[in-house]
Amino acid sequence: MQRFGVVWQQLRLSSHLPLLAAALVLVSCRSGSNRPAPAVQQPDQPVAEAPPPQTQVPVKTETQVEMVNVNLHLDPELVLHIRHLEGQFLPTRKGQPPSFDDKLSYVVKIDSAEVGVSMASMSHAMNTYVFGEPDAPLKNLTLSAEGSEIKQTGTLKKGPGIPFEMVGTMSATPDGKIRIHATKVKAGHLPVGGLMKLFGLDMAKLINTRNTRGITVDDNDLILDPTLMLPPPKMRGLITSVRIQGDEVVQIFGTGKSGRPPSPHSNYMAYRGGVLRFGKLTMTDTDMRLIDADPSDPFDFFPDHYSEHLVGGYSKTTAAGGLLVYMPDYNKIAKPLSPR
């Protein structure tokens, strides 16, 4: 009769060596003999030391954005002339990074910027987005500069329609919006001040802002909120001053000054840190710069057509693993570039 037993023996080495696993001892007893077989001890094997933990590079949760001399299209007729801008590229959906393929997936939080909007773009924005509803109180709006003041003409939707004209000064409100203070208002070629006195009206009754977007009335002033009145990609920031300069309304956000050192590129958009998606690619600890291939004029960029910008341009990888993407202007996008 044979019987088998397994005995585990725990071995302890000197205090300078780690603990080894106990050797396996097989004891065999033959019939007619009770003498145990001698234990066989497996040779000690050194334990491989664990590799040192890899240094983790912290990834910023927010993507920093910088724009210099960029004409940013919000639609084919509404263009923001961004002289310079610094801020963050923030996601709008929890757990999902910003994506160039979806301009609703991010918002540009402005820390400091100087942005100009032409009178033609302002007129388009007012007619399309602010007073774009069928029952909006004002129609056919045209904005123009009159010295340091802004002039607005259009039709007041009262009965058959009353032509009106308003001239006013522009300034920033304490909460970062734009105030237009009317210095002269006419309706039907009559001073509106007289009509108000005659009929007991004020601006809030004359212009019902219930069917508008991004505009409210404060006494006889109009308050514009660009955050609400403009289409995506959305931008938000504190406007600290506003002025008329030539044919543009120039808005200053924050200090209006750039805090970054000069760049060798004159027209570009740079993204640093965080996670950013574009097409089928996802960039972690983002380091990407979109560069105007023709620096002789502002970088004409249309987010709705960014893939066409990419296809028409070319890219280079930097020694640090970043990406430099040279793109044609939107108005020159039909002519593909050759890598230099």
Query: pTM for this one?
Result: 0.76
Residues 152 and 143: beta-carbon distance below 8 Å: yes
What b/e string do you get for 327-340 counting C-beta neighbours within 10 Å, with b at 16 or more?
Answer: bbbbeebeeeeeee
- pLDDT at residue 262, as a whole number: 64
> For residue 285, what are its two tokens?
């600890």
Contact predicate 206/190, CB 8 Å: no
- Answer whether residue 26 shows pLDDT above 80: no
Give the mean pLDDT of 222-241.
92
Helix (H, G, I), strand (E, B) or coil at 111: strand
Range of lowest pLDDT (5-14, 66-75, 255-264, 268-277): 5-14
SS (H, E, C) 37-80: CCCCCCCCCCCCCCCCCCCCCCCCCCEEEEEEEEEEECCCCCEE
Tokens representing 181?
């203070």
Note the pLDDT tens digit of each residue in 190-202: 776 644 554 555 6
Share of the chain above pLDDT 70, in %: 72
Q: Shortest CA distance to 125 belongs to which of 208, 229, 246, 211?
A: 229
**Cβ contact 282:288 at 8 Å:** no
Residue ranges per structural domain of the chain: 1-45, 63-117+255-332, 119-223
Could you tell me the pLDDT band of residue 103, with boundaries at 50, 70 and 90? very high
Task: State the pLDDT at residue 246.
Answer: 94
Checking if the pLDDT of 23 tops 60, the result is: no
pLDDT at 236 over 70: yes
